[in-house]
Amino acid sequence: QVQLVESGGGVVQPGRSLRLSCAASGFTFSNYGMHWVRQAPGKGLEWVAVIWYDGRNKYYGDSVKGRFTISRDNSKNTLYLQMNSLRVEDTAVYYCARDPDAVSGTYFDYWGQGILVTVSS
Amino acid sequence: ELVMTQSPGTLSVSPGERVTLSCRASQSVSSDLAWYQQKPGQAPRLLIYGASTRASGIPARFSGSGSGTEFSLTISSLQSEDFAVYYCQQYNNWPEFGQGTKVEIK
């Protein structure tokens, strides 16, 4: 069965960095595009970033462009999100999610359980 | 900028009732629309993609319709486990979610 397990969250001060990981299992990771989606406390869902199956193409939402970097290691079945210059408004539960397509941002057929990132001084 | 608008914000219904949730796109997204269900403390779950195709394991009481800018999700007979927040999401452009509709017990 498909499993996505996020890790690396926690409390961080504004301006600092944090790296999230998402360990995938139960499917051939290298065949699928992968996303990060976030949800601020009590708010709706916001798409953050997508990476194609081979890692060669990456795209970002406007609110994180230039600060966050999505990457993947297909040999380790792991997705990453490097978050730099964090702001209070980046506080959210971050979900990794699988795209049923390999090379485009479509919808999300499987989700991890989410990991909380709190940006606070 | 493509904006997704869901209505109503909250729906108070009784078990067994038929429920229809609406989602409107500010420009055409063809049939590139998905619906998700989210319960408190849980990740979203995919219900519908392609505007009307049920995802694997989703009960037949859930159905989606629409194309272009107007979409709807119908739950034919609301069960206790269906009380949740529902989100639409377009993928004709980069993914964009609606703000959600909360379905609560009346």
How does pLDDT run across A29-85, given as a tens digit for each residue? 999 999 999 999 999 999 999 999 999 999 999 999 999 999 999 999 999 999 999
| Binding-face residues of A in 29-68 toward B, CB within 8 A | 35, 37, 44-47, 50, 59, 61
Q: Does A27 touch chain B (CB under 8 A)?
A: no
CB contact under 8 A, B95 and A109: no
Q: Spell out the residues 6+ positions from residue A79 whose beta carbon is closer than 8 angstroms to its own.
A: A21, A22, A24, A34, A36, A51, A70, A71, A72, A96
Read off the pLDDT band of A105 (50, 70, 90). confident
Check residue A102 and give its pLDDT. 83
Locus of tokens 């690396």: A8
Nearest Cα of chain B lies from the Cα of A38 at a distance, in angstroms, of 10
- Count interface pairs A-B at CB distance under 8 A: 56
CB contact under 8 A, A111 and B43: yes
Residue numbers in B near A107 (CB within 8 A): 34, 46, 49, 89, 91, 95
Report helix, strand or coil for B92. Answer: coil
Check residue B45 and give its pLDDT. 98
A96: nearest Cα among A41, A28, A22, A29:
A22
Given a contact cutoff of 8 angstroms between Cβ atoms, the answer to whether A72 and A80 are in contact is yes
Q: Is the pLDDT of residue A104 over 90?
A: no
Mean per-residue pLDDT for B30-44? 98
Mean pLDDT of chain B: 97
User: Among B43, B49, B100, whose Cβ lies nearest the Cβ of A44?
Assistant: B100
Given a contact cutoff of 8 angstroms between Cβ atoms, the answer to whether B37 and B77 are in contact is no
Q: Does A9 touch chain B (CB under 8 A)?
A: no
The 3-state secondary structure of B18-36, one letter per residue: CEEEEEEECCCCCCCEEEE
Mean per-residue pLDDT for A93-110? 92
Check residue B72 and give its pLDDT. 98
Check residue A49 and give its pLDDT. 97
User: Among B32, B96, B98, whose Cβ lies nearest the Cβ of A47?
Assistant: B96
Q: Is the pLDDT of residue A103 over 90?
A: no
CB contact under 8 A, B95 and A50: yes
Question: How far apart are the C-alpha atoms of A116 and A18, rounded to whole Å?
Answer: 12
Check residue A5 and give its pLDDT. 98
Question: How far apart are the C-alpha atoms of A37 and A35, rounded to whole Å?
Answer: 6
Question: How far apart are the C-alpha atoms of B47 and B88, rounded to whole Å?
Answer: 10
pLDDT tens column, B49-78: 999 999 999 999 999 999 999 999 999 999
Check residue A66 and give its pLDDT. 97
Q: Is the pLDDT of residue B104 over 90?
A: yes
Check residue B51 and give its pLDDT. 98
Q: Does B64 touch chain A (CB under 8 A)?
A: no
Burial of A11 (0-12, 13-18, 19+ CB in 10 A): exposed
In percent, the amount of chain B with pLDDT more than 70 equals 100
User: Among A47, A100, A113, whose Cβ lies nearest the Cβ of B43?
Assistant: A113
